[in-house]
Chain A
Amino acid sequence: MAERVVVTAVGIISALGMGKDAHVAAIRNRQSGVKAVMHLKSLHSAEFVLGEIDKSNDDLASLMGLPTGDNGYTRTTLLSLAAMKDLLEHVDISVLHNEPFAFINANTVGGMSKMEDIYMDVISPDNDEQNNKYINTLDCAESTENVAAHYGLKPLMATISTACSSSSNSLLLGARMIKQGVVKRAVCGGGDALSRFTLNGFNSLKNVDKQLCQPFDQNRGGLNLGEAAGFCLLESESAAKARGANIIAVLSGYANTNDAYHPTAPSPTGEGACRTMQQALDMAKLAPGDIGYINAHGTATQNNDLAEGLAIQKLFGPNPPAFSSTKPYTGHTLAAAGVIEAIFSMWAMEEQMIIPNLNFETPMEELTIKPATALKENEPVNHVLSNSFGFGGSNVSLVFSKA
């Protein structure tokens, strides 16, 4: 019987701020980080609202003690560094130096946030050496290797990219490596910075809402994009206990399945999402009724919310546990969504609270269930489920339980 895998520290930066206190305060105040654009230089910037992080690249560089300006770091890497810095506020870095560990990161477009500004120069055969230091940032692995190098860490590294489920898959791989004894610890998560590439990509798919997004609402008009980075320190329970670590949660179940239905759309009946949640519950040896809170993927696109809503209804019945999408707070942060929402789910359990789904007005015609809209405190939340679904039919569900 493999050991339990526990979460002992988290690090996060999103449009709500950096670290737990900023996030939990914003949630309690029903305060969204989705707002008018400050930094992204898109021709559409004035039309959209985004879950953009207030800090500029120079602010982030200063935070990390790096030179400002043209320093070779992309926003993707800077956000990932900031999330790792937050995590290391809660765990002594020597823990990561002493024994072999894995660092599993995820993103969807590497350093596209920089590359899209210099691409025409980069592909011109005339050498403009100024930009050469950014060429390798095209690789998704660049931020992974840079974060490890910044902290002088030499982990077993992996980078995952499965669209919007990417960083949930990081946690899944970390848990697998720990259970199989490959490593005792793994820092798992991911980060994505806003880019014109992804904004225009989702806009060309006609699923970006120019107003604040409304997950699980009859009149939902699509997603708001956001940016974030987050990491969780996973450990085998014995390794965590041996160093007297505070255990935030047990990663008690996880599942990865594929819809095998369509390149971008989920199976409309929610069959794939339902199977994924069921498998994650099975691994955790829990019944649907044991779950106290579901952090839904809830992108507020037509397709996702219908499929996911039907799946929740099918698996949990007409009276499901409180569920909400936290994307109205942060925007859809793509590769980071899985880990930051896993973190929100663990905080719901730690704080014994139900996180309300903002911007909800009208229940969906196809559903008999609706998301939680009121902040509830002192709720008995002992097990939580967090969903992440992505392009390519990629579905991941994670279950966390109280230690």
Chain B
Amino acid sequence: MTQPLYILSACAISAQHTYDATRFLDPVLSVNDGKLFMIDADYARYISPVAIRRMSRMLKAGITAGMKCLEDAGVKTPDGIIIGSARGSVTDMQNFLKDMINMKEEALTPTAFIQSTYNSVNGWLAMMTKCTSYNQTYVHRGFSLELCLLDAQLMLAETTEKKYLLAGGFDELTDEYYIIRDKIGYYKKQMPESQALLNHYDTPGSIGGEGASFFTVTNDADKASCAIHGLQMLLQPTSEALQAAMADMLSQNGLKNEDIDVLVCGMNGDSRNHFLVDPLIATCADKTTIATFKQFSGEYDTASGFGLWLVNYLFVHSCIPTETVYKQGTSDEINNVLLCNITISGDATLVLVKRNSLAG
């Protein structure tokens, strides 16, 4: 990446207390049925009573996380809205589809159809923030959020003006969607307590999750606590390719393995991903603390958004919550953090985040 993408604020609605970050993992919320649903936030704070009545849960969560994120950054109208979601509002899609089938294509109402459109959260956020500038929606499975970050970085590289973009990702879990994905091996057959997910690395599948994670990203170094300096998307890489991409990213930034203070690892407890995760952990220096998050977020296509939210949390709070620590490293600083996400289908993404030394 040619220029850093500064993170000015982050907001996540997830299965943990992230919307109110003062309560993060206090307590850890855990389930034993493999379905980590989001905790509802105060949606009515941002969405009018008239609008909220017709909105599905994902729409409300996406809009609220986006609005709160901008509010935390002190940005009223962003210079662009870029959102990733592999599946959009699943509830709306399945409701319209089932109505169509059950009602034999008669007397259908359009609300669910409209809301199932992948860019409906984009449209609402544009309306609510009066953002008439750039608006984009990426729908590429486990790369959806990362493509937003790439686009944001490219867009900001085109200008010398200070610009503030809202970038984020969301995906929804429903009981029905769980059944569907369970049929193709997404979830464990013997479901552990979700917080103990990573102790069950010997069986295939993961646990279901959902969430909305938003970031105010900017080329303005003034107030951001951290910035993204590297970004890689790897389609079903070999372990060697993942290692090479990581080494390449570090060397481009003048860093070595031992300069990584924290590896935030999106391992998902799926035995089929051992071949990627094990060498990654083995190459970590003694200094590096490994933190994990999917036992808290569950697995979903834009779960890396929870991971990036956690990365930002580490920089803002200058501490690593003990519940997330998979391996304690010797470094007592948090300057360089690498986020590595690994999906059920074996795709991987790397995001290098460094402390912002230019913060005013």
Stretch at the interface among B179-187, B195-203, B270-278, B287-295: B179-187
| Contact A127:B100 (CB < 8 A) given known A141-B139, A145-B235, A392-B122 | no
| Contact A258:B139 (CB < 8 A) given known A264-B114, A391-B120 | no
Stretch at the interface among A93-101, A115-123, A320-328: A115-123
The distance from the CB of B136 to the nearest CB of chain A, in whole angstroms, is: 6
Pair A108/B117 contact, Cβ less than 8 Å: yes
Tell me whether A154 is interfacial, beta carbon within 8 Å. Answer: yes
Bound CA span A156–B151, Å: 13
Pair B183/A163 contact, Cβ less than 8 Å: no
Bound CA span A270–B319, Å: 51
| Contact A162:B110 (CB < 8 A) given known A145-B235, A394-B122 | no
Residue numbers in A under 8 Å from B122 (CB-CB): 162, 258, 392, 394
Residue numbers in A under 8 Å from B2 (CB-CB): 180
Residue numbers in A under 8 Å from B233 (CB-CB): 156
Pair B108/A159 contact, Cβ less than 8 Å: no
| Contact A169:B133 (CB < 8 A) given known A182-B154, A392-B126 | no
Stretch at the interface among B25-33, B36-44, B140-148, B326-334: B140-148
Residue numbers in B under 8 Å from A196 (CB-CB): 100, 105
Bound CA span A258–B80, Å: 9
Tell me whether B315 is interfacial, beta carbon within 8 Å. Answer: no
Pair A135/B141 contact, Cβ less than 8 Å: no
Tell me whether A197 is interfacial, beta carbon within 8 Å. Answer: yes
The distance from the CB of B158 to the nearest CB of chain A, in whole angstroms, is: 8
Bound CA span A45–B259, Å: 63
Tell me whether B98 is interfacial, beta carbon within 8 Å. Answer: yes
Enumerate A135-193 residues with CB–CB distance to B below 8 Å: 135-136, 138-141, 144-145, 154, 156-163, 169, 173, 176-177, 179-180, 182
Pair A125/B135 contact, Cβ less than 8 Å: no
Pair B101/A141 contact, Cβ less than 8 Å: no
Bound CA span A112–B87, Å: 12
Pair A392/B86 contact, Cβ less than 8 Å: no
| Contact A200:B105 (CB < 8 A) given known A135-B180, A163-B119 | yes
Pair A135/B105 contact, Cβ less than 8 Å: no
Residue numbers in B under 8 Å from A127 (CB-CB): 183
Pair B135/A162 contact, Cβ less than 8 Å: yes
Bound CA span A141–B86, Å: 8
Residue numbers in B under 8 Å from A275 (CB-CB): 132
Tell me whether B6 is interfacial, beta carbon within 8 Å. Answer: no
The distance from the CB of B172 to the nearest CB of chain A, in whole angstroms, is: 13
B117's contact among A43, A145, A392, by CB below 8 Å, is which?
A392
Pair A136/B119 contact, Cβ less than 8 Å: no
Tell me whether A227 is interfacial, beta carbon within 8 Å. Answer: no
Bound CA span A122–B123, Å: 31
Closest A-B pairs by Cβ, 4 of them: A392-B123, A201-B113, A161-B118, A258-B135
Q: List 10 A-B contacts (CB under 8 A).
A: A138-B180, A141-B143, A157-B235, A159-B138, A162-B137, A176-B158, A179-B158, A200-B96, A205-B114, A260-B130
Tell me whether A257 is interfacial, beta carbon within 8 Å. Answer: yes
Task: Count residues of A near B (Cβ-Cβ below 8 Å).
Answer: 62
Residue numbers in B under 8 Å from A119 (CB-CB): 97-98, 101
A interface, CB within 8 angstroms of B: 42-44, 108, 112, 115-116, 119-120, 122-125, 127, 132, 135-136, 138-141, 144-145, 154, 156-163, 169, 173, 176-177, 179-180, 182, 196-197, 200-201, 203-205, 256-264, 272, 275, 390-394
Residue numbers in B under 8 Å from A263 (CB-CB): 114, 120, 123-124, 127
The distance from the CB of A52 to the nearest CB of chain B, in whole angstroms, is: 17
The distance from the CB of B80 to the nearest CB of chain A, in whole angstroms, is: 9
The distance from the CB of B55 to the nearest CB of chain A, in whole angstroms, is: 10
B127, B132, B141: which has the most chain A beta carbons within 10 Å? B132
Q: How many CB-defined contacts (below 8 Å) exist between A and B?
A: 178
Residue numbers in A under 8 Å from B53 (CB-CB): none
Bitwise, B79-97 to A at CB < 8 A (1) or not (0) is 0010000111000001011
Tell me whether B325 is interfacial, beta carbon within 8 Å. Answer: no
Bound CA span A179–B97, Å: 41
Size class of the contact patch on chain B:
35 or more
The distance from the CB of A95 to the nearest CB of chain B, in whole angstroms, is: 20
Pair B139/A200 contact, Cβ less than 8 Å: no
Pair B183/A393 contact, Cβ less than 8 Å: no
Bound CA span A145–B151, Å: 20
Bound CA span A258–B129, Å: 11
Pair A392/B105 contact, Cβ less than 8 Å: no
Tell me whether B322 is interfacial, beta carbon within 8 Å. Answer: no
Residue numbers in B under 8 Å from A169 (CB-CB): 136
Residue numbers in B under 8 Å from A140 (CB-CB): 86, 118, 139-140
Sample of 15 more A-B contacts, CB < 8 Å, known A145-B141, A264-B114:
A42-B105, A108-B118, A127-B183, A140-B140, A160-B138, A162-B136, A169-B136, A182-B150, A182-B154, A197-B100, A258-B81, A261-B127, A262-B127, A263-B123, A392-B123
Residue numbers in B under 8 Å from A261 (CB-CB): 127
Residue numbers in A under 8 Å from B131 (CB-CB): 258, 260
Pair B123/A204 contact, Cβ less than 8 Å: no
Enumerate B138-170 residues with CB–CB distance to A below 8 Å: 138-141, 143, 147, 150-151, 154-155, 157-158
Chain A residue nearest to B51 (CB atoms) is A263
Bound CA span A43–B106, Å: 9
Bound CA span A144–B144, Å: 13
Pair A394/B123 contact, Cβ less than 8 Å: yes
Residue numbers in B under 8 Å from A139 (CB-CB): 86-87, 139, 141
Residue numbers in B under 8 Å from A125 (CB-CB): 179
Pair A116/B135 contact, Cβ less than 8 Å: no
B140's contact among A123, A138, A158, A257, by CB below 8 Å, is which?
A158
| Contact A272:B132 (CB < 8 A) given known A177-B154, A258-B81 | yes
Bound CA span A116–B101, Å: 8
Bound CA span A135–B81, Å: 30
